[in-house]
Chains A and B, each alone.
Chain A
Amino acid sequence: MIFRLKRITFFITCMFLAIFISVFLIQGVYGSELNEDSRNKRTVLDSRLIKRGNIYSADAKLLAESVSEESDYKYQRVYYDSEIYSHITGYFSYSLQSTGIELYANSYLSGNTSSLALSNLLARFQGLQTAGNDIYLTIDSNAQKLAYEALGDKIGAAVVLEVKTGKIIAMASTPAYNANDLAQNDYSAALLAYQAAEEDSSSPLINKSIFETYAPGSTFKLVVAASAFENGYDENWAVDNPARYTLTGSITQIKNSGGSSCPPYASTSTLKEALQWSCNIPFAQFAKTLGAYALNATAISFGFNESLDIPLNVAKSYFPAGLDTAELELSGFGQANVAATPLQMAMVAATIANGGQRLQPQLIDKITDNNGNILQSYSVKVLNQAISASSAKLLTELMINNVENGAASSMQISSIKVAAKTGTAETDGSHYNLWLVGFAPADSPKYAIAVMVEAEDGFGGEVAAPVAKQILEGLL
């Protein structure tokens, strides 16, 4: 009967339809997912055929390029002044996982983005060598060099933001590494270098300004003060000024740095004075009164608990919600569970400097093709109005006061008004994070800066501040 044949034909049709669909799923629908699987070496092999794009600083200093060589790899990636820039550029490797801008801007550098597909195709028809796109960073080479050298042989990080635009002018982390060691085509040598760097206890491979969080210490008082202004208090808000204070619901006692009441010989301490002399006990009380909800809200508006992409993925800074009163009091001066990346604190400073408006920090200024035509250009991105302009103005005045009359006096620069806050955070009995957060010129701010140094002892004002001062002096 033909009827049986019809059924058989139908069955065969179904079989082939199933195949068509499954192949389409693989080549069409799931194609990009499969292509991004790290075990799929084909995109890497493709990239060997294309001259990878260059990386430049904002002022067109060449930081990374692919130099052609006679080998299977066709090109060797070369980095210039690598120690200064390696945390930003990262390294590009066929065998090790790439990092930094090499990783996050990979599709542009390797010429793989779909917007390039058509021009690549056309270029191939014409026999032109296709090349990746060039990345221009927002980093200024002079500023970056300054920052790197100012940190010297300390372990720490420095971030400089341009206040009006959010551009990251400098981002240094020490100790650094030489990206050339890890990007070399010789796999075994690269692997050795990688392992050596991994084992170094000062973590040279990690960009401390964005991938690590540290207790911000007294620099967090800026956030607390901002929260106070936002909730109706002013700089004259006064609280008791004992030399010792027992945390609510606990037997632990806290003290001011210096051990006595702060400011000394006064029965009360105002917000202004507490900020000026960086007093812990008053701020514990401020935090307690403001409450977890209000403080949390202010912290979040400054960017805490939020992950950023600059486009490098920045670690989240933490201000936990639902703290009990004792923890709240501790967080009032930046201890307990508060943790921030140096970039986050720089962003706090930049926000205060920018009238309370928080801008997206950006690392890439523009992307061009290998002929210099601009494909994408950076533009200012407003994230939110973190605090009101009046709160920001008030806080600025207090920060100027810190420098002129207070604990941040080592930040004074002749003929330039500087606004700053120092911080000395204890991590565990014998290790400290020493901070300096600020901006300058304070009357019409250009740059915001955050410096963090890991040390065994010392104070922010003594160790971190000189680094920041050196950088700001060089810039202004």
Chain B
Amino acid sequence: MAQIKNSVKFYGRYKVFKKNPRNIEFGFLLFGALISLCGLLCVDLGVNGFINAGAICAGAVFWAIVFILHILMRWRLKDADPLILPSAALLNIIGVIVIYRIDLVNNNSRGFRQLIWSVIALLAAAVIVMFLKNHRKLQNYTYIFMVLSFIMLIMPMIPGLGSSQGTNATLWVSFFGITFQPSEFVKITLAVFFASYLIAKADSLTKVNKKFLGFRFPRLRDSAPFLLLWGVSMAVLVIQKDLGTALLYFGLFLLMVYYATGLASWVVMGLLAFGGGCLFAYKYIPVVSNRVASWLNTFDNELYDKVSGSAQQAQGLFGLAHGGLFGTGLGRGWPAQTPLSWSDYIFTSIGEEIGFFGIMAVMFLYLIIIARALKVGVLGIDDFGKMLSVGLAFIIALQVFIVIAGITRIIPVTGLPLPFLASGGTSIVSSWIIIALILVITNSAKLQNKNHITLQSNL
């Protein structure tokens, strides 16, 4: 039985003003804008010695749109978490500034393009903020999300529609001159599908199960649909050779199943399957054995000189080392020495110029978003919201980990983009959609708390 108590306490006008999350958010947005302005000035002065007014205007336009989003939130999502939007916006603009900095060397305009895509992403986020008041509406469309995921996954495999953009993986779809990567959106639709399905079936998965080898396993009848979708996703990704995304989905799947059921058996099975999959990939997919060799022997001279050898990774590491603990200073390093320094290796480009302490601060921006989204798991009221929020947080966390671990040789390189920072239209749009969803969920969670709504919760 839901009990709604109208317990909005009366605070003095001053106190209400102080505690309004939107005001906190406003303050941080101003701060972020200031930081990015300083960064842009450093880049212009460091590289060219003079200031480019056009760039400042472009940055101002970006922040203007962010502030518009903020106003939208004052209207529609009053209680959403105040730290997430500024962190995301700051990450986004840092990415644009560094891509712009590399443009100055390569005489390109990727920075501008990234800015345009950022604006589109913000618009997409705005649409969600405007029209999705309550995340629980999404639960109504569970199976639609399942079908959507499937369609988007196989789109690049349709001849005529798919293209590989010159890489060795067919990940893109292009029409009317715009290319986008459907797998970036599938991770969101999959997360929504898994969240709502797992929540709906959580009881039967957890409690109705068979014992085998000391572990408990759910019935096939319950687990079939999502196992199927998951299996198909994996197969499709392997065929498309998009192994980074496969790793991401795998991790997401494992996490959500564990969170929903608490069954260690899934985790163990999953890890075993993962191990098996890795071995299979290593033996039968040449790209994988290439990447593993490059991971283990990055500095080997022969590998370095080979085409598609370890040179790119080595250069990225050289760049990071060149920056050292304090960085070379914006505009004063040589990030462009590394191939694809604006996308795959944006991390080393930033790390070279702002140093270890700088890049750790950037990592903290990610952690803020992740932590605030995880908080819903603690303070939230409804299971679906918790599940989805934790799932989305994990997508970001795992993706960041996979990319940076690949760059720093903890694991082999995978080709995933760093959310918000790396150049790539689809990536930034999907990242902002995730942010918008998290904001909606935090808003609902806060509202539910405020009104002391209690529901039976298993999580």
Question: A residues touching B (Cβ–Cβ < 8 Å)?
Answer: 1-2, 4-5, 8-9, 12, 15-16, 18-20, 22-28, 30-35, 37, 39-43, 45-46
Asked if A8 and B321 make an inter-chain contact with CB atoms under 8 angstroms apart, the answer reads no
Q: How far is the CB of A466 from chain B (nearest CB, A)?
A: 49
Of the candidates B255, B355, B401, the one whose C-beta lies within 8 Å of that of A8 is B255
Classify the interface of chain B: helix, strand, loop or mixed.
Answer: helix
Asked if B356 and A42 make an inter-chain contact with CB atoms under 8 angstroms apart, the answer reads no
Asked if B356 and A23 make an inter-chain contact with CB atoms under 8 angstroms apart, the answer reads yes
Q: How far is the CB of B48 from chain A (nearest CB, A)?
A: 15
Least CB separation from B322: chain A residue: A42
Given A37-B318, A39-B304, A45-B334, 13 new contacts (CB under 8 A): A4-B259, A8-B259, A8-B377, A8-B390, A12-B394, A18-B401, A20-B360, A26-B408, A30-B321, A33-B321, A41-B337, A42-B318, A42-B337
Q: Is B60 an interface residue (CB 8 A)?
A: no
Given contacts A28-B324, A28-B356, A42-B333, contact A16 B401 (CB under 8 A): yes
Asked if A27 and B410 make an inter-chain contact with CB atoms under 8 angstroms apart, the answer reads no
Q: Which A residues are CB-close (under 8 A) to B360?
A: 20, 23
Least CB separation from B262: chain A residue: A4
Closest 6 CB pairs of A and B: A34-B321, A40-B318, A22-B408, A27-B356, A15-B401, A31-B321
Q: Which B residues are CB-close (under 8 A) to A34?
A: 317-318, 320-322
Least CB separation from A24: chain B residue: B356
Given contacts A8-B394, A15-B398, A15-B401, contact A1 B322 (CB under 8 A): no
Least CB separation from B393: chain A residue: A12
Least CB separation from B377: chain A residue: A5
- Once bound together, how far apart are the Cα atoms of A169 and B397, in whole Å? 65
Least CB separation from B356: chain A residue: A27
Q: Which of A9, A19, A24 has the most CB of B within 10 A?
A: A19
Of the candidates B318, B333, B355, B363, the one whose C-beta lies within 8 Å of that of A39 is B318
Q: Is B331 an interface residue (CB 8 A)?
A: no
Q: Is B130 an interface residue (CB 8 A)?
A: no
Of the candidates B262, B351, B394, the one whose C-beta lies within 8 Å of that of A27 is B351
- Once bound together, how far apart are the Cα atoms of A37 and B337, in whole Å? 15
Of the candidates B258, B318, B397, B458, the one whose C-beta lies within 8 Å of that of A15 is B397
Asked if B255 and A19 make an inter-chain contact with CB atoms under 8 angstroms apart, the answer reads no
Asked if B356 and A43 make an inter-chain contact with CB atoms under 8 angstroms apart, the answer reads no
Cross-chain pairs A/B with CB under 8 angstroms, 24 sampled: A1-B262, A2-B377, A5-B378, A5-B459, A12-B374, A16-B363, A16-B367, A16-B397, A18-B405, A19-B400, A19-B405, A23-B356, A25-B408, A26-B317, A26-B408, A27-B324, A31-B321, A32-B321, A33-B321, A40-B322, A41-B337, A42-B337, A45-B334, A45-B337
Asked if A23 and B320 make an inter-chain contact with CB atoms under 8 angstroms apart, the answer reads yes
Asked if B374 and A26 make an inter-chain contact with CB atoms under 8 angstroms apart, the answer reads no
Q: How far is the CB of A4 from chain B (nearest CB, A)?
A: 5
Q: Which B residues are CB-close (under 8 A) to A41?
A: 334, 337
- Once bound together, how far apart are the Cα atoms of A42 and B397, in whole Å? 32
A-contact bits for B195-220, CB 8 A (1 contact / 0 none):
00000000000000000000000000
Q: Is B299 an interface residue (CB 8 A)?
A: yes
Least CB separation from B334: chain A residue: A42
Q: Which A residues are CB-close (under 8 A) to B397?
A: 12, 15-16
Q: How far is the CB of B369 from chain A (nearest CB, A)?
A: 12
Q: Which A residues are CB-close (under 8 A) to B408?
A: 19, 22-23, 25-26
Tally of A-B residue pairs with Cβ under 8 A? 113
Least CB separation from A3: chain B residue: B262
Q: Which B residues are CB-close (under 8 A) to A15?
A: 397-398, 401, 405
- Once bound together, how far apart are the Cα atoms of A37 and B333, in whole Å? 17
- Once bound together, how far apart are the Cα atoms of A27 and B404, in whole Å? 14
Asked if A26 and B394 make an inter-chain contact with CB atoms under 8 angstroms apart, the answer reads no
Q: Is B409 an interface residue (CB 8 A)?
A: yes
Of the candidates A2, A19, A25, A40, the one whose C-beta lies within 8 Å of that of B401 is A19
Q: Is B169 an interface residue (CB 8 A)?
A: no
Q: Which B residues are CB-close (under 8 A) to A40?
A: 315, 318, 321-322
Q: Which B residues are CB-close (under 8 A) to A12?
A: 370, 374, 393-394, 397
- Once bound together, how far apart are the Cα atoms of A104 and B370, in whole Å? 50
Given contacts A19-B405, A22-B405, contact A8 B320 (CB under 8 A): no
Q: Which B residues are CB-close (under 8 A) to A8?
A: 255, 258-259, 374, 377, 390, 394
Q: How far is the CB of B310 from chain A (nearest CB, A)?
A: 10
Asked if A26 and B320 make an inter-chain contact with CB atoms under 8 angstroms apart, the answer reads yes
Q: Is B314 an interface residue (CB 8 A)?
A: yes
Q: Is B59 an interface residue (CB 8 A)?
A: no
Q: Which of B299, B333, B397 has the most CB of A within 10 A?
A: B397
Q: Is B435 an interface residue (CB 8 A)?
A: no
- Once bound together, how far apart are the Cα atoms of A33 and B408, in whole Å? 15
Least CB separation from B409: chain A residue: A22
Q: Which B residues are CB-close (under 8 A) to A33?
A: 321
Asked if A27 and B363 make an inter-chain contact with CB atoms under 8 angstroms apart, the answer reads no
Q: Which B residues are CB-close (under 8 A) to A18?
A: 401, 405, 410
Of the candidates A16, A31, A45, the one whose C-beta lies within 8 Å of that of B324 is A31
Residues 309-343 (chain B) with a chain A CB within 8 angstroms: 314-315, 317-325, 333-334, 337
Q: How far is the CB of A378 from chain B (nearest CB, A)?
A: 31
- Once bound together, how far apart are the Cα atoms of A24 and B325, in whole Å? 8
Asked if B410 and A22 make an inter-chain contact with CB atoms under 8 angstroms apart, the answer reads yes
Least CB separation from A15: chain B residue: B401
Asked if B299 and A9 make an inter-chain contact with CB atoms under 8 angstroms apart, the answer reads no
- Once bound together, how far apart are the Cα atoms of A40 and B299, in whole Å? 11
- Once bound together, how far apart are the Cα atoms of A39 and B315, in whole Å? 8
Q: How far is the CB of B178 from chain A (nearest CB, A)?
A: 33
Q: How far is the CB of A314 from chain B (nearest CB, A)?
A: 28
Asked if B321 and A19 make an inter-chain contact with CB atoms under 8 angstroms apart, the answer reads no
Q: How far is the CB of A98 from chain B (nearest CB, A)?
A: 19
Q: Which A residues are CB-close (under 8 A) to B356?
A: 23-24, 27-28
Given contacts A15-B398, A22-B410, A34-B321, contact A27 B355 (CB under 8 A): yes
Q: Which B residues are CB-close (under 8 A) to A23?
A: 320, 351, 356, 359-360, 404, 408
Q: How far is the CB of B409 from chain A (nearest CB, A)?
A: 7
Residues 255-284 (chain B) with a chain A CB within 8 angstroms: 255, 258-259, 262
Least CB separation from A5: chain B residue: B377
Least CB separation from B314: chain A residue: A39
Q: Which A residues are CB-close (under 8 A) to B315?
A: 40
Least CB separation from B316: chain A residue: A26
Given contacts A18-B410, A19-B408, A37-B299, contact A5 B334 (CB under 8 A): no
Q: How far is the CB of A365 from chain B (nearest CB, A)?
A: 32
Least CB separation from B364: chain A residue: A16
Q: How far is the CB of B262 from chain A (nearest CB, A)?
A: 5
- Once bound together, how far apart are the Cα atoms of A394 and B197, in whole Å? 101
A-contact bits for B340-363, CB 8 A (1 contact / 0 none):
000000000001000110011001
Q: Which B residues are CB-close (under 8 A) to A25?
A: 408
- Once bound together, how far apart are the Cα atoms of A41 and B367, in whole Å? 34
Least CB separation from A9: chain B residue: B374
